């Protein structure tokens, strides 16, 4: 589904991603872990199509297409969804209008008629139940004044409406209380089909108790320095990143 080959990204002259290769197949859940500043969000943004920095090398293929040539909105319509680490507040733009516009753009892309207002509201209600988002939140402006946890739930809510093929969840678990974490995980699991895939970026093993990853990667200093099964996450939780950093630093300086 997604192949990243030797991806290098520079921001303001500084190399942030230093040759990342990653292969995600349909039906898989990948977890990406790694210390702060290692480049996880940068990778996620590049996948979603944010134009920042320079892609100096590498290739990304998504469902047989050259992803780097696609505009952000087309990637979304092709099924990529980024759950933002820091969702943006957009005053004056209502959640309802935002999601309705987005969904109808997706439908248009697939040659479907736009959803009527009443059908859309019905769908919203359904999905709100799924992620247990407060009813009031969807009557407000996008993320405006939402608490940290509410913002994260709102990301999952949007994901539930857009039903992506490849969801990239950037620390959707941070800032969530235990109940919310379960709800978010539950939302992700319910949306899971053999046809779609998920990349979860997280710092905590905790989330991976609920969303069981097939593969765990460790991103450090712009590179994937370790890949393993779900037991790798357990090991990281116990030992932290130092042992990996040491290994890598020895390799790079040695």
Ligand X SMILES: Nc1ncnc2c1ncn2[C@@H]1O[C@H](COP(=O)(O)OP(=O)(O)OP(=O)(O)O)[C@@H](O)[C@H]1O
Binding site for Mg ion (CB under 5 A): 40-41, 85
Please report whether residue 16 would count as binding ligand X according to CB under 6 A: yes
Contact by Cβ (8 Å): 164, 43: no
Strand duo 197-201 + 14-24: pairing: unpaired
Residues 6 or more apart from 144 whose CB is under 8 A from it? 89, 90, 91
CB of 124 or CB of 201, closer to ligand X:
201
Q: Which is nearer to ligand X, 38 or 138 (CB)?
A: 38
Helix (H) / strand (E) containing 14: strand 14-24
Residue from 72, 123, 130, 234 in contact with another protein (CB under 8 A): 72
CA distances from 154 to 18, 60, 170 (A): 32, 28, 13
Look at residue 91 and give its three-state secondary structure. strand
Adjacency order of strands within the sheet including 80-83: 80-83, 166-170, 197-201, 29-33, 215-220, 223-228
Q: Which of 91, 145, 229, 240 binds another protein (CB under 8 A)?
A: 91
96 interacts with another protein by CB under 8 A: no
Count interface residues toward another protein (CB under 8 A). Answer: 32
12 interacts with, out of Mg ion, another protein, ligand X, none, CB within 5 to 8 A per kind: ligand X
Residues between 185 and 214 with contacts to ligand X, criterion CB under 6 A: none
158 sits in which H/E element: helix 148-162
**Pairwise CA distance, residues 245 & 254, whole Å:** 13
Specify the residue for token string 């696609």. Answer: 70
One residue of 3, 141, 174, 186 binding another protein per CB under 8 A: 141
Contact positions with ligand X (CB under 6 A) in 69-98? 85
Q: Can residue 240 be called a binding residue for ligand X (CB under 6 A)?
A: no
Q: Is 138 in the site for another protein (CB under 8 A)?
A: no
Binding residues for ligand X, per CB under 6 A? 11-12, 16, 34, 36-42, 52, 85
Residues within the interface to another protein (CB under 8 A): 48-50, 71-73, 75-77, 81-82, 84, 87-93, 97-99, 101-103, 105-106, 109, 141-142, 158, 162
């Amino acid at each position: 589904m997604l192949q990243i080959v030797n991806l290098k990204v520079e921001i303001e002259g500084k190399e942030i991603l230093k040759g990342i290769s990653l292969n995600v197949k349909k039906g898989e859940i990948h977890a990406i872990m790694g210390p702060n500043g290692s480049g996880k969000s940068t990778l996620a943004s590049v996948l979603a199509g944010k134009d920042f920095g320079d892609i100096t090398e590498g290739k990304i293929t998504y469902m047989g297409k050259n992803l780097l040539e696609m505009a952000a909105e087309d990637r979304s319509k092709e099924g990529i969804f980024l759950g933002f680490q820091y969702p943006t507040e957009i005053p004056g733009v209502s959640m309802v209008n935002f999601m309705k516009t987005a969904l109808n753009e997706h439908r248009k892309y697939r040659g479907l008629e736009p959803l009527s207002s009443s059908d859309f509201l019905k769908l919203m209600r359904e999905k709100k139940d799924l992620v247990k988002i407060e009813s009031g939140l969807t009557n407000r402006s996008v993320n405006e004044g939402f608490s940290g946890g509410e913002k994260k739930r709102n990301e999952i809510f949007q994901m539930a409406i857009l039903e992506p093929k490849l969801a990239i969840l950037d620390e959707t678990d941070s800032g969530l209380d235990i109940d919310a974490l379960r709800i978010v995980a539950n939302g992700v699991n319910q949306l899971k089909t053999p046809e779609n895939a998920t990349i979860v970026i997280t710092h905590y093993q905790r989330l991976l108790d609920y969303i069981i990853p097939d593969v765990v990667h460790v991103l450090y200093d712009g590179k994937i320095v370790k890949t393993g099964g779900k037991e790798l996450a357990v090991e990281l939780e116990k030992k932290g990143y130092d042992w990996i950093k040491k290994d890598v630093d020895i390799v790079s300086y040695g």
